[in-house]
Amino acid sequence: MLQLPTRSQSPRPCAGTKDCKDSGTASEETATTATAHHEKPPLLLPDLPDLALLRVLSYVRPEGLFAVGRTCRRLGELTRSAQPWHGKPELELKSCDQVRDLLRVAPPVEEWNVCRASAETWMGRAAVFLYQHVAIRDPDATRPTGVLRVVVRGPGLPKEVASLLRDVAPTVRRLRLAFSRKLDDTFGTLKDAKWSSLEHLDVTANHVVKGTMWPQDMVLPMLHTVSLDPCRGKPKAGGGRQVFSPAYLEALRSLLRAHSGQLRCVNVREEALLPLVDACPSDLHRLRVDLYGGRGQAEVAVLRRLCGLKELRIALGKQGIIILGAGFQDKDDVKVHTLLTSWTGALERLELHWVNPLTIRALGESVIGSSLRCLVLGQPSYDRKFVTQLPAALAALPRLLAFVLLLCPSYQMSDGESQEARLSMERLLRGLVRRAAQALHVVYMYDKREGFTLYFGHSEAESVGCQQCAEAAAAARHGLLQYVRRVNWPVIRTPEEQPNWGLKRVQVQP
């Protein structure tokens, strides 16, 4: 019988040197094999399952995501999802070739912003490309999307940038062209490519040179929203308002007329452009107008021709004055009061920012109460007259189902006064819900850091799946995104940057 040596015995010597060497070699091979069986090979990134890999990628900076996505097809497919890019800073790209590589490994880039930089920017490079995945940008953003900002040096487009835009044009849904102040250049870029998916166009040019008109037989097939936001030119002597030439107005009018059969929304961010409303279809669904840039010069009566309009948003007052709390533009208030009291269309949603008691009184005197279902008011500060006139104004709106009130605490209030104002508003809003003819839902925000409060009169059980609750919450977020732009709050790009946008739900007892 073969007997193994005990711990106190030495192993028996080999019969010869050769056998000893062979035995040693065999022992090393056996040990290596045993070690290989017991030690797992290192786990590589591609070996992780998809969900775990996405969690890992969420900690990677944009530069790393760009590099990882180009290593293999599977990683490229994962980096094309939105999750790893949420809340990340802008990724700077230095060439059109890098942009083309990014488009293969990043979430779809549906928004392009082509703007102009100073000649000293980026040490003489012709263009720089900045990519960011944006979750929440403005009220028109219905879903997260990739945004690419193209910053060019000169007033025109470099050839390689123009070529890139032609390549990506079929996939672009929103386009902002701010690289030139000449409308001729804007029209040229639009004509030079097939923008077959373009839905939203931002026009920032403020003059024409050659009297260019938009061809009436050339229609961007998916375009439904046009924003007219001309960049500021040199101010007139004496601080006069922006003046646009008749040729420029006619050129913009030709663009609107060519698409009048499909336009659903028009945003007029400069009061002097209000006459262009006559080129919009009478059944336009939504119109947004800013009245703080023209010093009360425009005639808002032109808006009444939009008899089929369903949603109207008006921002009152001059922006800088309102932020400083110095007062309202009386001329604008009078004009809006006249407009609302003489409105004959069937408005369903009305949004008023920087309102004052005169505007609130107009609501009570108007005939829009027969159709209005949603009202959004953005008030720069707590005003006792404003508060006392609210009940009478809302009583004249019997079909109102959603009321959104956005307030900004006055800088002149002490903490005690601010708390008293808050409690006063809460008591008022509860009373509005109790006395409403229909199931009124009220959304209130006194301070953006504390989020929204939703007041409703039905039971908690009925709030699950309540369409009016959902619509009121959506209206509040929609209004807030407009409101924050006027009080210089930071741009809200991702869910992580939202201080507290969850609704605090409050059932109002009868």
- pLDDT, tens only, 4-54: 333 344 434 444 444 444 444 544 555 455 455 556 677 777 788 889 888
**Structural domains of the chain ordered from first start:** 280-510 (3.80.10)
Do 359 and 340 contact (CB within 8 A), yes or no? yes
- pLDDT of 493 reads 42
- pLDDT of 234 reads 45
Q: Which residues pair with 287 in a beta bridge?
A: 266, 312
134 vs 12, 83, 146, 408, 495, CA distance in Å? 75, 11, 6, 26, 10
Number of residues written out for the chain: 510
- For 248, the 3-state DSSP assignment is helix
- For 230, the 3-state DSSP assignment is coil
- pLDDT of 449 reads 63
Helix (H) or strand (E) holding 67: helix 62-69
Q: What is the pTM of this model?
A: 0.79
Across 342-369, average pLDDT: 80
Instruction: Give the tens place of pLDDT for each residue, 20-29.
Output: 444 445 445 5
Across 417-421, average pLDDT: 73
**Nearest Cα to Cα of residue 212 among 192, 187, 230, 191:** 187
**Residue 427: φ, ψ to 5°:** -65, -40
Cβ within 8 Å of residue 413, ≥6 positions away = 382, 421
- pLDDT of 201 reads 96
> What is the longest distance spanned by two Cα atoms in the chain?
117
Burial class of 458 by CB neighbour count within 10 A (0 to 12, 13 to 18, 19+): middle
pLDDT category of residue 251 using cuts at 50, 70 and 90: very high
**Nearest Cα to Cα of residue 304 among 261, 347, 270, 345:** 345
